[in-house]
């Protein structure tokens, strides 16, 4: 019985150092997985919290199509017709 106790004490003489030497590949693998997973975890957390902090865009007033049509007829310039087409698009009269 004394042989068993002395052999186990001799095995634990180095303590955890012996276990680290035996499982070096496993520890290296775990360390690499943790090292490369932190940026991914950070990005997941960052993007999920960013979605909750986004503010809704301000509500646009509906464009006055009739007023822009009158301006384009009275002053037929390229800029006025471009603005009129933009008002049509925003009002939903013009779809692409």
- The whole-angstrom separation of Cα 26 and Cα 23 is 5
State what percent of residues in the chain have pLDDT above 90.
30
Q: What is the largest CA-CA distance in the chain?
A: 112
E strands, 7-86, are: none
In the chain, what are the domain boundaries?
2-53, 59-96
Supply the pLDDT for residue 28: 93
CA-closest candidate to residue 81, choices 91, 71, 94 = 71
CA-closest candidate to residue 86, choices 56, 58, 78 = 78
pLDDT tens for the chain, residues 1 to 96: 555 544 455 555 556 678 888 889 999 999 999 999 999 888 888 887 655 555 666 666 667 888 999 999 999 999 999 999 888 888 887 666
- The whole-angstrom separation of Cα 55 and Cα 57 is 6
Full-model pTM: 0.36
């Amino acid at each position: 019985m004394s042989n068993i106790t002395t052999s186990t004490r001799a095995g634990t003489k180095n303590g955890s150092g012996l276990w680290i030497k035996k499982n070096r590949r496993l520890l290296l693998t775990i360390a690499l997985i943790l090292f490369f997973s932190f940026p991914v975890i950070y990005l997941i957390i960052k993007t999920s919290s960013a979605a909750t902090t986004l503010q809704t865009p301000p509500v646009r007033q509906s464009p006055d199509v009739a007023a822009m049509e009158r301006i384009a007829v009275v002053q037929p310039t390229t800029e006025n017709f471009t603005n009129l087409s933009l008002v049509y698009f925003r009002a939903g009269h013009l779809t692409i």
